[in-house]
Structure 1
Amino acid sequence: MHRFRRTLAAVAAVTAMIGGTAGWVSADSQTAVTGPPPGTAAWRSEGLIDPVAATPHQVAAFFRGLGERERRDLVRRHPLVVGNLDGAPVELRYAANRAGIAADGRFARLLAPGKQILAFDPRGRGQVAEVYGDLTRSKHVAVVVPGSDMDAATYDRAKDPYGTPAGMARSLRTATGHGDTAVGHGDTAVGDGDTAVVAWVGYTTPVGVGIDAATGSLAEAGAERLTRFADGLDAVGANDPAVFCHSYGSVVCGIAAPRLDAADIVAFASPGMRVDSAGELRTGARVWAAKDPTDWIDSVPNVQVLGVGHGADPAAAEFGARQIPAASAQGHTGYFAPGTDSLRAFAAIAEGRIPGGGGGAGE
């Protein structure tokens, strides 16, 4: 009877939060964008390698067998396929996505000089992945996986510099040694200056914090896309990434973990990863967690009842993740703010070091 009452209490708590209390708001249900890239039917009609059936390593081998003229011709005729094809050469994807973005017209700011757009899918609210740095030559790679309300239009907002995946990616890259100081804070970068960071908005995120954010369907679809994306990095010779998973993005990472080719998985501001412990993630990656004392996510019940909720708190000691200091971060989106202990720790992890210790990944 006691267990039954606890379950009812948990259901009531989650239902109340979805209804709008404790910082949660109602939101429209989203349909996950899945399946092959736009334009796949025309691509397949030419007998080209199948974007779904082929692995990223098979895709990489396919492109290695083509001449430069053949590659460029595929970019011209099938930009949205090439631009989203994990395993295709990085520079070729950049060129294809410039063409796809120009043809779409709605996201012209993604054509700004110097932008490296590794993925662009105009379906739904739009998905995008932007690279900061040299992805295939950098010694270290990091990937930022966002939570709710992120898409091709919102992933980079000047008014929220450290709360968007683009802002997080830029801040992390600065903290690893790229640039003299973090803008406006004078926090000197101390890393080795050899890190590429990807702002990955490659899945349909929840809108607001409603039923989509409280359940796992969008995360399951996102996990499939994230694992294939990471396999694509491996296929083009990029090093195994440290994956930084914010809020609902940590649900995506939790589901992806057993198949995710990553050196580190970092859950921060997390509502849960749909497992009870780090060991249940069944990953060879180092697992880290952070939650600052002012983050409203701490008010979310760490339960999973009838498919609602995401389970145990990754930042709790009993979960078994390596703890990241976050005492100086503020709120739900302040973990990448310059000068914070969390950002310093994130930079160390991105470079394969132990935060505060300076050692390598094997230590």
Structure 2
Amino acid sequence: MRRHARALVAFALAAGVVAGTTGWVSGDAQQALTGPPPGSAQWRADRALGTGLPDPERAAPADVAEFFAGLSAGERQLLVVRHPSVVGNLDGAPLELRYRANALALAAEDDPRYRSLAAPGRRILAFDPRGRGQVAEVFGDLRTASRVAVVVPGSDNDAGTYDRKAAAHGAPPGMARTLHTAAGPGTAVVAWVGYTTPVGVGIDAATGGLAEAGAGRLTRFTEGLTADGLPGPAVFCHSYGSVVCGLAAHRLRATDLVVLGSPGMRADDVAGLRTRARVWAAKDPTDWIDNVPNVRFAGLGHGTDPTDPAFGARRVPADDARGHAGYFAPGTDSLRTFAAIVRGTATRDGARGPAVARALDGAEALEGTQAPADAQALEGVGR
């Protein structure tokens, strides 16, 4: 009898999740792309330098960085030419080599979906054509930036759809570009489509399998940035991307975790994320994600709404954003606040405008603290 009751409860919760948003059952099941980059077998067998090369799957990004630091310019260039697909996706390799390697890989790619990625001047930090394709692109000068951000998107994103023209500020490059423009000089933003995302709002979007695989890839990617001497990033996680970030949170070397339009982070509260990063959350009143039940049962659902005061995140105002993809729209309070988070200097440099003031004061009010002086408003980044 007890087993029967539990089955009914599970069914009811599952039905609630499935019915929580229009078209939930329209998604197709996806197989997560994991493992080392294409061409890794040839890389492992290469003895052109008279020694073995770091294993793309097992070598830590810090070890990869140390290996490349010991090579001459000629040896580095040799590896780029011989193994562009490996070097272009090898976390810990110098970003300049990765840009060059991915330009070569894209020039040799026949798939018309990726033609636009090969345009001169683009800074492609990762490119993997397998499956639906994965890509990461840099906006700004990552090498000289004092502040860095990474944007992690949600469902229906891959290398093939990356350059779609619709929703200019809602697609990954649009999010990263508008955030970089708003954050200004001295910053760089990476649009990271480096995991297999759900398609539509099917069972993949309601479960954590793809997010688990993505969390490992995101962790390694951010480790590669810091191993290459770059600052720890602020990580912005949209929709299902916030599930990825929630599962990766305890391993990410991030100053801030910012979730927007989140169905949940697979944690009951900020403490459950086990992160030293500051955690921020945004949800606008017209976002359909609000119709998704915040449950987590029998593998379905992603848990507490991060904008719920009980979760404990700092609240980013988003009342003037529109829809699920409107958080990076120019002129919105949410984008202004995101930019302030990236800069980490919104109060120190006296550039605190009215919208940002409302954003930060709202976060402080949520925490039940008195608004600090401008010089202290962003104190403790990364603690």
TM normalised by structure 2 equals 0.87
Return the offset for 1:157: 2.1
The answer to which of 313-322 and 21-30 deviates more is: 21-30
Q: Which amino acid is the alignment partner of residue 147 of structure 1? A: G
The residue aligned with 1:149 is 156
Q: In 1, distance between residues paired with 2:152 and 2:283?
A: 16
Measured against aligned partners, the alpha-carbon deviations of 1:278-323 in whole angstroms (never above 9, x if no partner) come to 1100000000101000000000000011001001100111000011
The one of 62, 85, 88 equivalent to 1:80 is: 85
The answer on whether the counterparts of 1:266 and 1:289 sit within 8 Å (CA) in structure 2 is yes
The residue aligned with 1:196 is 188
The structure-2 alpha-carbon separation of the partners of 1:300 and 1:21, relative to structure 1 and needing over 3 Å to count, comes to closer
The answer on whether the counterparts of 2:157 and 2:197 sit within 8 Å (CA) in structure 1 is yes
The answer to which of 168-177 and 99-108 deviates more is: 99-108
Q: In 2, distance between residues paired with 1:315 and 1:110?
A: 35
Q: In 1, distance between residues paired with 2:28 and 2:67?
A: 41
Q: Which amino acid is the alignment partner of residue 67 of structure 1? A: S
The one of 311, 331, 343 equivalent to 1:319 is: 311
> Does the residue aligned with 2:250 lie in a helix, a strand or coil?
helix
The alignment status of 1:165 with 2:163, answered yes or no, reads: no
The answer to which of 44-53 and 201-210 deviates more is: 44-53
The answer on whether the counterparts of 1:128 and 1:201 sit within 8 Å (CA) in structure 2 is yes
Measured against aligned partners, the alpha-carbon deviations of 1:227-246 in whole angstroms (never above 9, x if no partner) come to 00000000111111110000
The structure-2 alpha-carbon separation of the partners of 1:209 and 1:126, relative to structure 1 and needing over 3 Å to count, comes to same
The one of 244, 255, 269 equivalent to 1:263 is: 255
Q: Which amino acid is the alignment partner of residue 35 of structure 1? A: G
Equivalences, count = 347
Aligned-pair identity in percent equals: 64
The residue aligned with 2:242 is 250
Return the offset for 1:155: 2.0
Q: In 1, distance between residues paired with 2:205 and 2:118?
A: 31
Return the offset for 1:276: 0.4
The structure-2 alpha-carbon separation of the partners of 1:24 and 1:353, relative to structure 1 and needing over 3 Å to count, comes to farther
Return the offset for 1:344: 0.6
Return the offset for 1:194: 1.3
Q: In 2, distance between residues paired with 1:219 and 1:82?
A: 25
Q: In 2, distance between residues paired with 1:39 and 1:361?
A: 45
Q: Which amino acid is the alignment partner of residue 178 of structure 2? A: S
Return the offset for 1:74: 0.5
The structure-2 alpha-carbon separation of the partners of 1:346 and 1:11, relative to structure 1 and needing over 3 Å to count, comes to farther
Measured against aligned partners, the alpha-carbon deviations of 1:186-217 in whole angstroms (never above 9, x if no partner) come to xxxxxxx2110000000000000100000000
The answer to which of 105-114 and 143-152 deviates more is: 105-114
The residue aligned with 1:89 is 94
Runs of 5+ in structure 2 lacking a partner?
A: 47-51, 347-355, 361-373
Please say which structure displays the higher CA radius of gyration: 2
Q: In 2, distance between residues paired with 1:242 and 1:56?
A: 19
Q: In 1, distance between residues paired with 2:255 and 2:136?
A: 20
The residue aligned with 1:29 is 29
The alignment status of 1:175 with 2:193, answered yes or no, reads: no
Equivalences for residues 127-138 of structure 1 within 5 A:
127-138=134-145
Q: Which amino acid is the alignment partner of residue 162 of structure 1? A: H
The residue aligned with 1:208 is 200
Q: Which runs of 4+ in 1 moved over 4 A?
A: 4-11
The residue aligned with 1:102 is 107
TM normalised by structure 1 equals 0.91
The structure-2 alpha-carbon separation of the partners of 1:7 and 1:242, relative to structure 1 and needing over 3 Å to count, comes to farther
Return the offset for 1:176: 1.2
The residue aligned with 1:190 is none
> Does the residue aligned with 1:243 lie in a helix, a strand or coil?
strand
RMSD: 2.0
Return the offset for 1:23: 4.8
> Does the residue aligned with 1:219 lie in a helix, a strand or coil?
helix
The answer on whether the counterparts of 2:151 and 2:176 sit within 8 Å (CA) in structure 1 is yes
The residue aligned with 1:60 is 65
Return the offset for 1:25: 4.0
